[in-house]
Chain A
Amino acid sequence: MIRRIAVKEMTEMFRDGRFRWASALLLGLMLVALATGATNSRALAREHDAAQETMRGFWVNQGAKNPHSAAHYGLWVFKPKMPLSFVDYGVDNYTGVTTWLEAHKQNEFTRRPAMDQASVARFGEWTAAAVLQLLVPLLIVMLAFPAFAGERETGTLRQLIALGVPMRTLMMGKAIGLASALAAVLVPATILGVGTLAIGANFGRGTDDVLRFAAMIGAYLLYFTVVLVIALAVSARTTGVRIALLTLLAFWTVNSLVAPRAVADLARRAYPTPSSFAFQAGVQRDTERGLDGHNPADARRKAVEEQALREYRTISLDALPVNFDAIAMQASEEYANTVFDKHFGDLYDQYRAQNTLTQWSGLVSPLLAVRSLSMGLAGTDIEQHRDFAVQAELYRRGLIKWTNNYFRDNTRTGEWDWKAPPELWAKYQSFVYDAPDMTQTLRHQGAALSVLAIWLLVALGLLWSTPAPRVA
């Protein structure tokens, strides 16, 4: 019985001109989004890689220099584009793409691409993710709203009930029929997506990207199922086609346009972040006076001095066989690092708290949950950015320590004019970013996954608890 209903629904869909047109349009938009996304992402990836190479070249060829001058000269690193970023740009346009690794300081990421875009760009981006998050649900709503309400208005629901078809069977049949019709559109779209990905041949980590892509498809299918069941449930519970449609469109509008912004403002209120000015002032204060406020910089230097004298068993700094300036610089680097860890860590934790709240808000607007998962899996969310920032910072610390140690071991205190040989700089390894694998990414998506699971349960419950037939 369920099968027959499903086949009937599917046949009806395929014969409906509106369905064919809407699907064709959707597929077209999807293809354009994928194609432009792939082109843009690949161009950016190439540009960032090339810039990274160039910067490394500048570092290697900086000539004979004092190691500390070299540390001040530093190095710029660029955030690589992740292979799946063409499906979902995520926050890539709203995070800085580059940072300067230099002595004494953890710099922020600068150059947000969004600053250089016309204001219209903030109405939204045409990505495959936007098509999947906004337009597919709209198509589902448009297809499913008359499923019951329509039969009721034309009087066929009465006939079906009279034939003894249970409502639950009818519900299942319609759900399966509509889902199959949609699958006939979405599956080719997915295959095309995979095709583009394969042609792109930008599989940084091979299987991990395939897994991420599969997980992404799973998340979207779950999202579509939820929307479909909601649409059918509304259709079964409302008195007329008009009410069913308006209710569903109101749901779509809140889900897609209102909730994301409303929640963003709520999240910033719940977990506020400091102003950039206050943040920098905080870092400076803690570096000078100590994290606890009772360990000022000159006292710390005194302690380093005493330790060096003990270690080398001498009574004066002049008698040290090594360069005390370098020792002191490294000590202050290490203290500053703890300050940076605290402040940057607090800031990113605050972002994380905001994003967890946003994910939980998916209970009201499932889009928020699937959007978070999609970005996470595409490697374009803030967690990915944080991961990169942390690795870049660790590289910076290693590099600066290396210059300080070299300076310490090869000179005596006060030899600021001494220059290291020009071939030295190539000896420190280049920066290679090691992207997190999928399990690490999913660790920050717990709330989003729970929300989708809850929605799935709700959807199943709705399917099961189909109300008694109301025929008029």
Chain B
Amino acid sequence: MKRRSLWRTEWRLLAADRTPWLLLLIFGIVTAYGAWNGWQWAHFQRATLTEIVDGDTMRMVRLDNLLQRRAQGDSTAVVPPAGALGASMATTHAVLAPGPLATLAVGASDLFPYYARVSIRSKQSFMASDEIENPHNLLAGRFDLAFVMVFIYPLLLLALTYNVVSGERDQGTMPLWMSQPISPRRVLLTKLAVRVGFVLAITLGLSIAMAIVTGVSLTADGAVVRLALWALAVLAYGLFWIAIAVAVNALGRSSAVNAVVLLGAWLLVVVVIPSTIAAVVTTVYPSPSRVALTTALRRASDEAAAKGDTAVSQFLAEHPEMAQSGTLAAGNAWGRTIALQEQTTAALRPTFAAFDSALVAQRTAADRARVLSPAILLQDALHDVAGRGIDRYRHYDAQLDAYHQAWQAFFFRRVFADQALTAADFAARPTFTYAEESNGSVVRRVLTLLLLVLVPTVVIGAWGIGRLTRVSVHGS
């Protein structure tokens, strides 16, 4: 038999069956629902950010008018002290807009804040509020495209491949083609390739179609690279499941046994291993306590307040750049507030450092353990590609910290010098614009994860294909 006619025959066989089309229909619906949910969330976030930025712009125009009137000598224009401006009136939101592929995953973005109204006060004071969400929905997680890929797409692959060998044996067609002058391995691999090609083409096609339908702009910076990474990730994960299916088929058992073993493997990879890792990691490396942090914060601020003037002079002595005289003008209430706040922050530095290192320890352990389950690797890869993972959030958080420091430095100098803010000062204030991560670092991270998916794929796949030569008409 010619190679091409073999392909054509297998395709006809597959296409004549009703099951693949039914599965395809279900998968299409599920994918569309996932994409719709992702779009809704990205849309909600964008609408919220627009409202926020519009509000900020209006406030800033009003404040600028006030300062201009003051600059022109209008005595009815009363400018509040620099401290009040830096603490609230002149503050705007530092926003993290959804990335170019945001509609493809919700990921961790329903837990982490995507805007913060940065002020001269401590970070804890302006990072306190979370986005409103029913905790029951947070617990369940989102039905987004990433979920479809991690959980449902393997089922589609397995449904079409679990009986590649055993099905032929069950139907009695195996002896027919075993007697042909063509290697059984080639027949089986062609069979497999046709089915797998069908699923992969559909999945990749649907992914890209959904990206475009949900408004991903291909001209946006990094969109094409990220979309290619998404496709690559889906492909690698698909290959992993195909390798498993081949290996199980190569065992030569009946279709029913194959189905059970493959479903067991799926359950192990997408449910059992991840939740076991979560349980072990959070037990061995417990999350640091926010409760203890809240108590420590209050204790430190009480202590600074109790020391009062001593704390203030201590702060000024340690920060000669803030006030040359080393003392605070009488009645400089904001200067006093800030000195006490900064003394509190300084006292808490070790507590925060311990908190952060506990967090890092847990995340590092979890990152190492995820090698055990390609499902976790894929989920993290897809979230990262969509800009919905922890890494993009951390990137934002670091910029937020830098901006917070710049904002504080800008206002602290004026507060301690007891200077009013002028229109020119206001124009020169620090502003925040999120700088997206370089595509290179996303590519590096995601490729590392995919490489980890490929290792078991190659090992299991090679073993399975090697064993396929030994399939027999009777099974084992």
Interface residues of A (CB under 8 A from B): 32-33, 36, 40, 47-48, 51, 54-55, 58, 62, 76, 78, 90-91, 93-98, 108, 110-126, 130, 134, 138, 241-242, 245-246, 249, 253, 257-258, 260-265, 267-269, 273-281, 347, 350-351, 354-355, 358, 381-382, 385
Could you give 23 example pairs across A and B, Cβ below 8 Å?
A: A47-B292, A54-B299, A78-B291, A93-B139, A111-B290, A112-B111, A114-B138, A115-B111, A117-B282, A120-B376, A123-B376, A124-B271, A126-B275, A126-B276, A134-B271, A241-B256, A245-B256, A249-B263, A258-B151, A258-B152, A261-B140, A279-B132, A355-B134
A78 to B, closest residue via Cβ: B291
- Whether B288 pairs with A116 at a CB distance below 8 angstroms is yes
The answer to whether the Cβ of B406 comes within 8 Å of any Cβ in the partner chain is no
- Whether A277 pairs with B255 at a CB distance below 8 angstroms is no
- Whether B143 pairs with A262 at a CB distance below 8 angstroms is yes
Given contact pairs A54-B295, A126-B279, A253-B155, A268 touches B290 in the complex (Cβ within 8 A): no
- Whether A120 pairs with B108 at a CB distance below 8 angstroms is no
User: In the complex, what's the smallest C-beta–C-beta distance from B111 to chain A, in angstroms?
Assistant: 5
The answer to whether the Cβ of B389 comes within 8 Å of any Cβ in the partner chain is yes
Query: Which chain A residues lie closer than 8 Å to B380 at the CB level?
Result: 119
The answer to whether the Cβ of B294 comes within 8 Å of any Cβ in the partner chain is yes
The answer to whether the Cβ of B474 comes within 8 Å of any Cβ in the partner chain is no
A246 to B, closest residue via Cβ: B259
Given contact pairs A98-B291, A123-B271, A91 touches B279 in the complex (Cβ within 8 A): no
Q: Taking A33-B279, A116-B287, A351-B134 as given, write out 19 further A-B residue pairs in contact, using a Cβ cutoff of 8 Å, ordered by the A residue number.
A: A78-B291, A91-B136, A98-B294, A112-B138, A117-B287, A118-B282, A119-B108, A119-B380, A123-B275, A126-B278, A241-B256, A258-B151, A264-B140, A267-B137, A273-B132, A275-B131, A277-B115, A281-B55, A381-B136
Query: Which chain B residues lie closer than 8 Å to A253 at the CB level?
Result: 155
A241→B254 CA distance, assembly (Å): 12
Q: Which of B96-104, B326-334, B363-371, B454-462 has 4 or more CB atoms under 8 Å from chain A?
A: B363-371
A40→B270 CA distance, assembly (Å): 25
- Whether B275 pairs with A113 at a CB distance below 8 angstroms is no
Mark B265-280 against chain A: 1 for CB-CB distance below 8 A, else 0: 0010011001111110
Q: Within B83-139, which residues are at the interface with A (CB < 8 Å)? A: 107-108, 111-112, 115, 128-139
A53 to B, closest residue via Cβ: B295
Query: Which chain A residues lie closer than 8 Å to B389 at the CB level?
Result: 119
Helix, strand, loop or mixed for chain A's interface? helix
The answer to whether the Cβ of B362 comes within 8 Å of any Cβ in the partner chain is yes
Query: Which chain A residues lie closer than 8 Å to B141 at the CB level?
Result: 122, 260-261, 264
User: In the complex, what's the smallest C-beta–C-beta distance from A375 to chain B, in angstroms?
Assistant: 8
Identify which of A95, A118, A242 contacts B363 (C-beta below 8 A).
A118
A130→B271 CA distance, assembly (Å): 11
Given contact pairs A58-B302, A118-B366, A120-B376, A113 touches B143 in the complex (Cβ within 8 A): no
- Whether B299 pairs with A58 at a CB distance below 8 angstroms is yes
Query: Which chain A residues lie closer than 8 Å to B147 at the CB level?
Result: 261
Given contact pairs A110-B128, A382-B134, A120 touches B140 in the complex (Cβ within 8 A): no
A392→B40 CA distance, assembly (Å): 34
User: In the complex, what's the smallest C-beta–C-beta distance from A126 to chain B, in angstroms?
Assistant: 4
- Whether B142 pairs with A76 at a CB distance below 8 angstroms is no
Query: Which chain A residues lie closer than 8 Å to B299 at the CB level?
Result: 54, 58
The answer to whether the Cβ of B283 comes within 8 Å of any Cβ in the partner chain is yes
